[in-house]
Amino acid sequence: MTESEQLNEASYLQRLLDDWEFAQAVIVAGQLGVADLLSGGPRSVTDLAQETGTHAPSLYRLLRYLAGRSVFAEAGDGLFSLTTFAQPLRSDVPDSIRAEALWAGSDAYQRTWNNLSYSVRTGRSAFEHVYGRPFFEYLPEDPALAKIFNDVMTVNSADEGPAIVDGYDFSRFRKIVDVGGGHGGLLALILDRCPQAVGVLFDSPDVVASVSRNLDPLVAAGRMEKVEGDFFKAVPPDGDAYVLKFIVHDWDDEQAVSILKNCRAAMAPDGTVLIIEMVVEEGDAGSAAKELDITMLLFTRGRERTEKEYGELLHRAGLRLVRGLRTRSPFSVIEAVAT
């Protein structure tokens, strides 16, 4: 029996509304960095308030509420400590969600989601409605937001990358171009798994300029090249694999076809295009792809798509869908070659 069947209809919906309030509390704790401050052991609300610049009685009320939902624990005398559910709010743990908390708590995120009704009524991006220009045009103008967004993409790559490289065999490729590759986390994993390959990390100038020095050894060894550019104009040539993770879903059909055509024009004669996205499945079952699709409606002109819809985009770009491979993450690898 599902949770919705165990509860009556009103109670089920009320719980969903309450979870929105709980999420706001988690976000504020993430913004304040409370979990990092507690990483060394229990601390008093007085100390925490002093370090976070907050009102101690109000911070106590916040942490008491979160402790009631198993995020943090109250030890008595105003002392709080971490719980297993609070650990991921730390910024220094492998499964950290602090970047996601900062993203969800940003003005851009909150104001955009508050305009969901606009997107549903018009089919247009709420972000563009609020900020007057597309998300990816605005991002370079707001360095703080750009850093948060890129940190989220990097964390997601770290979480999902191993499942992707386990789920698809990249070993036959010699030159791999990561189109819109962000901070290079996925490409680094692929190159680590495939010592025979070299990689090209291709993204906009502002993103490439912010790439972590952790990739410098790959660059120094001649195994990775960082290239700036605009994938709507051209992509680096002569790759035998073009990886597009979390790229095609950002754009409407015409823009997506334009990117794919540029990959088709640039790739080696026997090249392969690999679209890595969350694929929408048919039916009523909930999925990460369906949830993310609402985010795309709000922030971009793009959408999540079914495998059939990706096949149609590829056909328009002069490519043929060979197969779609599910990984143990929410992502699938859609493999295509020239027609």
Residue 249 annotated to the active site: yes
Q: 55, 129, 183, 249: which one is catalytic?
A: 249
Question: What is the residue type of 229?
Answer: G
Say how far apart CA 273 and CA 26 lie, in whole Å: 39
List the beta bridge partners of residue 319: 338
Say how far apart CA 339 and CA 336 lie, in whole Å: 9
The residues annotated as belonging to the active site are 249
